[in-house]
Amino acid sequence: MSPQRRRAAATTRVVRRLPRGAGREALLEALVRVAGREGLAAVTHRSVAAEAGVTHGLASYHFASRDEMVHEALVWATGKAMAETRIGEPGASLAQFAEELSQRIADDPGNARFQFEIALEGRNRPALLAEVRTLYDQYVDAIEEVLSAYGLEDDPVLARLVFAAVDGLVLQQLIYDAPRRTDACLDRLREILGSLAVERATDTQTDVRQQPAHSTLHPRVS
């Protein structure tokens, strides 16, 4: 079905009654689906309301402008992605880092597509670009904390490099639709990080052994 027919069909959907307080999140989730499926150009109060199965008035009530709606959806989508992929949560070992990433992308590709759509759109809209950078920095900060738990602390450059690798793998999975390839690449990334962690731990132990013994200083007696 073409995007035009899909939007036309959406406008005829039966309006559903949502539990009290659930309308805002339903609209954000609907916006992510619309943008992921048809691009940001298709996002309007009307199209999002139709996708969510609510009235146009409810969308306007929660979001005064399209820009506000897109901003809130970006924050919501980022939080959802971080929670579901657990990319900011250290597991029992480095082998568990981002272990659910490929499956989550396979289950919900629209969220990832939406975030890439926003990132590209931000190139032409400075205000939106600032928001994208802030949220990207949140990903990097979360990864930096995880790496610290595995003995790779105080290395923001490494954290940004790891995020760039993960971000690129998400994009490639959207293009190739090959979760196993993503898993294989993540396995190799974990191996590299594990080797680096061992190397740093060894260097630290060597430095400690090579430090000269210091004599105990006694307080001066006057």
Query: Where are the chain's structural domains?
Result: 1-64, 66-200
First-to-last CA distance in the chain?
94
pTM of the model: 0.80
pLDDT, position 198: 95
CATH architecture of 1-64: Orthogonal Bundle (1.10)
Judge residue 123's burial from the number of C-beta atoms within 10 Å of its C-beta, 0-12 exposed, 13-18 middle, 19 or more buried.
exposed
pLDDT, position 162: 97
pLDDT, one tens digit for every residue, the chain (222 residues): 555 555 555 444 555 655 555 789 999 999 999 999 999 999 999 999 999 999 999 999 999 999 999 999 999 999 999 988 888 888 878 888 999 999 999 999 999 999 999 999 999 999 899 999 999 999 999 999 999 999 999 999 999 999 999 999 999 999 999 999 999 999 999 999 999 999 999 987 775 666 665 544 343 444
HEC secondary structure over 75-97: HHHHHHHHHHHCCCCCCCCHHHC
pLDDT, position 92: 77
Which residue, chain included where needed, has tokens 């309007």?
44
Asked whether the beta carbons of 176 and 114 are under 8 A apart, the reply is no
- Sequence letter at residue 90: P
pLDDT, position 216: 40
